[in-house]
Amino acid sequence: MRVRFAKRGRVRFLSHRDVARTFERALRRAEVPMAYSAGFSPHPRISWVGAAPTAAASEAEYVEFALATAVDPGWLRASLDAALPGGLDVVDAVVAGGGGLAERIDASRWRVRLPTVAEPALSAAVTALLGREEVEVERATKDGRRRFDVRSAVVSAVGRAENDTCAILELVARHTTPAVRPDDVLTALDVVAGLRPSAPPEPTRLEQGRLLDDGTLADPLAPDRNDAGRPVGCSSA
């Protein structure tokens, strides 16, 4: 099964590990017939893809897990959603098609709210960033501090005004190693234009999916399709 869920409100401050543990408990409470790994210490077969960083909200998080017996996706969505705490909301559930979920996701679309930043300053900084071929930033990782290029991950970026004292950064970024996060892009805007918000940014992931030629993202939960464009398993009638 493939599940899309949202991470809203105060729940955005949960780490990925906390979210994973919460899901495992919810699956047990909902009595979902999970399939388990073999060996001396069996564990539920759950695969996570592209988890949002701590403090980032999201409307498009994904998890895939194996079941011991088939269940109705609608029942799974409702039962799992009821077993999860408020703020972790199951949006959709489908039976997995061919391949893995990770093969369907290579980019994200973000909306980053920037209180205290005016739109002209943000738009000027975005223009400066997009005009560079490379912009390196430094960040602490589990392997120590690491420098990496942010610009190559940025597919598109636009600054818009919410009001006179709050701007919105709309961003599409490829998934890279290490992952380029919204705060890395903001660091890059500081590097190229000295843009430094005086209030914490408020990032929300709106979409994840396979990046298409027109810059949009394909839905990871959409059915596999054949060469004629029909969902696999549909008749030609």
Let me know whether 79 and 122 are in one domain: no
CA 115, CA 163: separation in Å to the nearest integer? 9
Q: What is the pLDDT of residue 234?
A: 40
Question: Is residue 228, in this structure, part of any structural domain at all?
Answer: no
Strand partners, 205: 58, 110
The answer to whether 126 and 156 have CB atoms below 8 angstroms apart is no
Q: What is the pLDDT of residue 141?
A: 77
CA 85, CA 14: separation in Å to the nearest integer? 12
> Is the predicted pLDDT of residue 197 greater than 80, yes or no?
yes
Question: Is residue 236, in this structure, part of any structural domain at all?
Answer: no
Structural domains of the chain, count: 2
Question: Is residue 209, in this structure, part of any structural domain at all?
Answer: yes
The mean of the pLDDT values for the chain is 92
Strand partners, 115: 166
The angle formed by the CA atoms of residues 55, 207 and 118, to the nearest 5 degrees, is: 60
Question: In CATH, what number is assigned to the domain containing residue 32?
Answer: 3.30.70
Question: Is residue 224, in this structure, part of any structural domain at all?
Answer: no
Q: Out of 38, 68, 103, pick the residue that ends a domain.
A: 103
Please state the rounded mean pLDDT for residues 155-166: 96
230 or 168, which is more confident = 168
